[in-house]
Amino acid sequence: MTQVAEPEAKRWVGGGILRKEDPELLTGQGRYVDDIALPGMLWLSFVRSPVAHATIANLDTAAAKELPGVLAVFTGQELAEEWAAAMPCAWPIGNRIMPEEPTNDARTPDHWPVAKGRVRFMGEIVAVVVADSREHAADAIEAVEVDYDELPVVTDMLDALEDGSQVIHDSLGSNEAYTWGMSNGDVDRVFAEAPVVVKERYYHPRLIPNAIEPRGVVVQPIPAQGEFTLWSATQIPTSSRSCWPSRSISTRPRSGWSPPMSAEGSAPS
């Protein structure tokens, strides 16, 4: 039998190529957001709601402000005047994901960085502590006192659409975010001509991205330039950037700092 030289392509396709980024990751030289330490860096910690739906009856930050190392404690009401608008939705259904099949009825409720008077999901931020160390920031959130008047909760998608269901965002009048119909080709004809038609209702689970690297953000203000540099443990740096005020952000991908690595995934978008 004639010996055939192995095709050149085998070196790459199916060839088990060693990754260029591995040596630094294997030797502890990886650089993640938590590895960034800046001179004078301050730490934020967040008081989060333990209940899914409630009005905030009382929110007392006085004791927390007295603790060592605490520079400030803010509630949503106190910060409200600083915010020009609610946070943008990074993935509005329709116009970005499926440009050919937009939904015209998509409704996005206002989403504020810190709750203003009412919490609408468990874990919603109700107060922010600024402190000079991780430990002082963690201590101070324990000293913030919050009283919640609990409201009815909605934990099932279909129940949420029932008449009389507790409406979570009053301004929308109902809990329906949108109806998103998708089709491709002549669907009616295909069903009409199909030898068997199976009808079923499918449920999609809630998606919870849960990378091992905790969520983290480091921000370095550069007041003289009216800019800031932001390092974020995100898989989607460019999408994230489009959500920030574009004139006031500088990501400086290769000058000074390298962009941190991200454990969230390996395909920045």
Is 23 a binding residue for other proteins by CB under 8 A? The answer is yes
**What is the rounded distance in angstroms from the CA atom of residue 20 to the CA atom of residue 23?**
7
Beta bridge pairs of residue 228: 221, 249
Give the nearer residue to other proteins in terms of CB position, either 11 or 111: 11
Please give the helix or strand (H or E) that residue 58 lies within, else none.
strand 54-60
For the beta sheet containing 43-48, the strands, ordered from the edge strand earlier in sequence to the opposite edge, are: 43-48, 125-131, 70-75
Is 69 a binding residue for other proteins by CB under 8 A? The answer is no
Is 155 a binding residue for other proteins by CB under 8 A? The answer is no
Candidate residues 199, 212, 223, 255; the one interacting with other proteins per rule CB under 8 A: 212
- Helical H segments across 88-224, by residue range: 134-142, 157-161, 187-193
Is 211 a binding residue for other proteins by CB under 8 A? The answer is yes
Is 269 a binding residue for other proteins by CB under 8 A? The answer is no
* Rg value, the chain, Cα: 25
Is 262 a binding residue for other proteins by CB under 8 A? The answer is yes
Is 210 a binding residue for other proteins by CB under 8 A? The answer is yes
Q: Which is it for strands 125-131 and 70-75: parallel, antiparallel or unpaired?
A: antiparallel
Give the nearer residue to other proteins in terms of CB position, either 24 or 186: 24
Is 261 a binding residue for other proteins by CB under 8 A? The answer is yes
Cα-flanking dihedrals φ and ψ of residue 223, to 5°?
-55, -40
**What is the rounded distance in angstroms from the CA atom of residue 141 to the CA atom of residue 101?**
45
Is 37 a binding residue for other proteins by CB under 8 A? The answer is yes
Is 18 a binding residue for other proteins by CB under 8 A? The answer is yes
Per-residue burial over 180-217, b = 16 or more CB atoms within 10 Å of its CB, e = otherwise? eeeeeeeeeeeeeeeeeeeeeeeeeeeeeeeeeeeeee
Give the nearer residue to other proteins in terms of CB position, either 113 or 259: 259
Task: Return the biggest CA–CA distance within the chain.
Answer: 87
Is 68 a binding residue for other proteins by CB under 8 A? The answer is no
Give the nearer residue to other proteins in terms of CB position, either 25 or 157: 25
Is 132 a binding residue for other proteins by CB under 8 A? The answer is no
Q: Between the CA atoms of 110, 115, 117 and 122, what dihedral angle is there, to the nearest 10 degrees? A: 100
Candidate residues 11, 25, 96, 226; the one interacting with other proteins per rule CB under 8 A: 25
Is 162 a binding residue for other proteins by CB under 8 A? The answer is no
Give the nearer residue to other proteins in terms of CB position, either 18 or 158: 18
The structure tokens listed for 222 are: 């550069």
Is 176 a binding residue for other proteins by CB under 8 A? The answer is no
Q: Which residues contact 175 (CB under 8 A, 6 or more apart)?
A: 154, 160, 161, 165, 167, 168, 169
Q: How far is the CB of 59 from other proteins (least distance, A)?
A: 26
Candidate residues 2, 27, 58, 179; the one interacting with other proteins per rule CB under 8 A: 27
Candidate residues 22, 100, 188, 200; the one interacting with other proteins per rule CB under 8 A: 22
Binding residues (CB under 8 A) for other proteins: these are 16, 18-19, 21-23, 25-32, 34-35, 37, 134-135, 210-214, 261-266
